[in-house]
Structures are given as C-alpha cells and as structure tokens.
Structure 1
Amino acid sequence: MSPVNSVTVSESNGLTFLDVDNAFATARISLFGGHILSFVPKSDNKERLWVSPHAYLNGERPIRGGIPVCWPWFSDDHGREKGALPAHGFLRTQVWKLIHSEDTESGTTITLSPSFTRAEGFENDCNVTMVITVGETMDVALTTENTGVVPFEFNCALHTYFHVDHIQHTQITGIEGQYKDKLDDWGLKTTPSPYTITGETDRIHVAPIKTAEIEVEGKAFTEVVSDGNDSLVVWNPWLGAASISDMDPFGYKHMLCVETSLTQGKTLSPGASHTLKQSIVPK
C-alpha cells in the first residue's frame, strides 16, 4: 500500500526504508527486521536512538542498534543448545510489510507485520503486528495473537539502543529490586543506587518496571515507559565491544540498551493476544 504524506519510501543496498517527517519528529524505519533506526523529536532535535556505524544495512545480518524486535524468544532461551537457533528469534532478519499508515493531529501511525511467524523452534499459529506512532513521543506496540487451537508460550523484547553523549556521565533512575546477572552465572543481585554503568553490564531486572529514566550529565534526557512487560533488560558491552564485528571498539561510550521485555514466559490461550509496549519520551 502507499504510505501517507508524512512518510517517504526509499531503497538502499537492497533494503527498503520508511522515513517519517511530521510536525513533531523525524524517524527512520527499515522494513528489514521491522527495525526502527532513528527518532529525533523536533522539540530539541536530538537523536534518541543509537545505531552502530558498522551496522550491516544490507540484509546480511540483523542491524546493530536502533530497536531490534526479539520474538518469539529472548537471547538463546529457545530450548535448544546455544547457537542451534538464531539469538533473539527470527523476526529481526525477515522483511516486514507495511499494512497501514495514518496521519493524525498527534503524529504518524505505521502498522507493520512480518512475512511469517512460523519457523524452526516456533511452529504455532499466530499473528504479529507492530504499531509505531511517531509524535511528541515514539510509541511502539508489538502484539502477538494466538490464532490457533492450542496454547503456546513465548518471550519477546524491544531491544532498544538509546543514544547517550557519554556512558560515564549517564545514570538510570526508576529501576529498583533485584536482577539476574548474566555475567555472573545468573546470580540474583540488588539493583545499585545510584545506577551508573562502570563496566560490562548484562542484567535482567525481573519485575514489570513501568518507568525508567536515562539521565545524562545529571539532566533527564529520555524516559522509557513500558507496558505488558515482566522484565527490563539493561545492557552495555563496555570493552567487549571490540570483539563485536559490527560495533566500533569505543561505541559502548555512546549507547545504553534499556529493553522492554518478556523474559519469564507468557502463555497465550487460543484467541488471546498480548501487547508489549514501549514509549520513548523526550525530556
């Protein structure tokens, strides 16, 4: 279908992009992976998302940065040996379709769906749609609907890479309680206060945290509002970035992943649906 006036379609290296430009913000979305690459609110003209300068933008690999869609499992939690199936599922490496677009008084709404939702490791009947609203905030809603006759379990995440001026001058507020430390044999630990990033970090905060805020140089920069989640994941590879082929060795200084996630298993009965939602709120 043809998009609305605020959306321009372009192609590069075999990928198709949707560029949004309205009264409130600009944004860029890759149909490969249903992947949001940019959100710049016109209130301050500052980019809220980070994309690696070495990201593969040709369809050969998942895109490093922006908002990758993890579904129907998170990380390697697919019940097989690690590496037997693609990490974070198979939606972020397929071409999505533009289903609907609309201009409203509050912004631009784009609805996408993946080409398929059945593959090795997940062979259930379901529909997946993602609704992206670009306005004063960016709202992303990932909906999974069970269209079959038996229940199934799944996990998912909006694996958002947020831009920060410098990670050593960055603090997160609003996260409390315990987390699982993937770097220390999944040990259960208490969330630090103040919450700063001082080294490699890979944490699953096992609570349905609704609001977290990223502060840079002591000032609120981006608020992350989550709904339908049971976890919030915080990740920064630190010096480990040097071993990631599509990431600059010093890229960790300018990014922080705060991921609205389902990591504890969500069961959908026939006819039921679930929506995982993340809102990016400029401050």
Structure 2
Amino acid sequence: MSIAPSITIQETSGITFLNVDNTFAIAQISLYGGHVLSYIPKSDNIERLWLSPHAHMSGEKPIRGGIPICWPWFSDDHGREKGELPAHGFLRSQVWQLKSSEDTDKGTVVLLTPTFSRADGFEYDCEVILEIIVGESLTVNLSTRNTGIVPFTFNTAFHSYFEVPDINHIELRGLQGSYRDKTDSFSIKDTPEPYRFNQETDRIHDHAAKEISLFNKDKKLTQIHSSGHDSVVVWNPWQSAASISDMDAFGFKQMICVETAITSGKEVLPDECHILTQVIS
C-alpha cells in the first residue's frame, strides 16, 4: 500500500505516528488508539488540540489529550461493576491499522481500522472505520456498521481535548437547556449563560448542539461541528488534575474537553451503519 506524499511515518517508543504536512495544516496521528494528537491549521498556525506533557506515550496506557475514541461504551457504562472493564471501551488502547491514505483537493484523507471490534463486554459482529481528513478543518468520522444478524446498542464519543490560553477566560457558546451534573450525583441543572468555568466540570448535555464555539475574551478560538450524536459532554478536572498521574497539577488551566458523544445508546440494525462526526476549525 502506498502512503500519501503528505505523510511521513515516525516510530517512537513502540508507537507508530503518522505526521501529516499538507497545504492546509499540520497534524499528528498515533496508530496506538487511532488517536489524533495534534492539528495546526496553516491559516493561523494555532494548535487546536491539547496533549498532556505527561501523557503515556509507550503504548501501555491510553494517551491523555488529543482526540481519544470512546467505544463501544462511554465512561463505565458497560453494565458491569466499575473497573471490571476498561473505562471508555477498548478501542483507545489497541493498535489500529492504516487501511488507506490519499491527498485530495480538500486535504489528506486517512482511513484506520482497529485490530478488533469484538471483545468482552461487546460481543457483536461489526466493522469500525475511522476517517480522518486533515484540511482547512479537521474532520473525524467514526463509522460503526452492523455486519451481524442481530441488532446491537452502543455508546461512543470523541473525547476531544482543546487547547486554551487560560480556562479562567474561556466561554463556551452554543449549548442550551439542561445538563446532568456528574460532580453532583447527576443532578439536573440549567446550562449557564454565559458558560464559563471556575470549578471542576463534568456535565452531560442532552441538547445535541451541532455548532459549539470556544471563545477567549470574546475572541473565537475554535469552532466545533458535530453530527450523529445525542449529547455533548463538557469536562475539566480543575484542581483534581493533581490526582491524575498523567496530567500536570496545573494542566487544567490550558484545556477543556468538549465531547461529541452518544451517551443514551444507539441501536444499529443488521446492515445498518452509524457515523459519528466532529469537525474542528
């Protein structure tokens, strides 16, 4: 298989990285986890994604930062006791295969497939493909096709970490309605207006907003377009970051997770395909 001219392959500490450099942007993709680690548009040369300086980069644990893939369950919603199965599923902790890559007039298109999509906790026949398009914007499409003879239900998310100058000056725009507050026993609360941050935040917004913007002091930083989702998860550990081994104690000041997610379950019938999409610009 030929590799697109815009891609160079790098091997470090047992992980294979795809480094993309084309007319539109620079990006880095780890085959461990099928994980986009960096995206810098050449229009402004500003990094959109946050990667922890203490992230495990040995292929032994999931990588903290970038765009981790949660599948086929979100968090510990797998129907077993907490800790019995890996949090956020088993795609983010396996080596993915490069299926194809090509340079087009819209950017570099990369197709990745996991080594396996059937394991303890999800024993159904399906095909999973991650399409990454590095162009004027970064597009990630995760398709889940039911190749079996019975329906199945799954949850999934792009657990995207966005880089910000200072979380104290960040405002999130585009969400409305109520959310479930995981820091307060899943209490139902109204979405704040303006939506700013001054404490640990872990919220599941059932309003599946298609467009969300991150602002820094009224200057737009990042635009996030989503489809195929039923919710948006917003997370920042705040001072709890000090207890996270692969995160700096003050790392919470430079990041915010805005996750395009399915948290209430999506049924996929035989021969049916579901696509989760997040577009970052």
Q: Distance in 1 between matches of 2:243 and 2:217?
A: 28
Partner of 1:48: 48
Q: Secondary structure at the match of 2:242?
A: helix
Instruction: Supply the AA of the counterpart residue of 2:142.
Output: L
Q: Distance in 2 between matches of 1:172 and 1:207?
A: 14
State the Cα distance separating 1:102 from its structure 2 match.
1.1
Per the normalisation by structure 1, the TM-score is: 0.99
CA deviations on 1:198-252 (whole Å, 9 max, x unpaired) are 1000000012210100001220110110000000000000000000000000000
Name the count of aligned residue pairs: 281
Q: Which runs of 5+ in 1 are unaligned?
A: none
- Structure 2 residue 25 is the aligned partner of structure 1 residue 33: no
State the Cα distance separating 1:2 from its structure 2 match.
3.1
Partner of 1:144: 144
Q: Distance in 2 between matches of 1:189 and 1:114?
A: 37
Q: Distance in 2 between matches of 1:150 and 1:76?
A: 24
Q: Distance in 2 between matches of 1:177 and 1:131?
A: 31
Q: Secondary structure at the match of 2:45?
A: coil
State the Cα distance separating 1:60 from its structure 2 match.
1.1
- Output the aligned Cα RMSD: 0.5
Per the normalisation by structure 2, the TM-score is: 0.99
Q: Distance in 1 between matches of 2:242 and 2:149?
A: 47
Asked if structure 1 preserves the Cα contact closer than 8 Å seen for 2:175 and 2:207, the reply is no
Which residues of 2 match residues 69-80 of structure 1 at below 5 A? 69-80=69-80
Q: Distance in 2 between matches of 1:3 and 1:55?
A: 28
- Structure 2 residue 205 is the aligned partner of structure 1 residue 202: no
Percent identity between the two aligned chains? 58
Q: Which runs of 5+ in 2 are unaligned?
A: none
Instruction: Supply the AA of the counterpart residue of 2:75.
Output: S
CA deviations on 1:170-208 (whole Å, 9 max, x unpaired) are 000011011000011111110000000110000000122
Which residues of 2 match residues 1-283 of structure 1 at below 5 A? 1-281=1-281
Q: Distance in 2 between matches of 1:55 and 1:113?
A: 23
Instruction: Supply the AA of the counterpart residue of 2:156.
Output: C
Q: Distance in 1 between matches of 2:245 and 2:200?
A: 17
Q: Secondary structure at the match of 1:179?
A: strand
Instruction: Supply the AA of the counterpart residue of 2:20.
Output: V
State the Cα distance separating 1:168 from its structure 2 match.
0.3
Moved over 3 A (4+): none
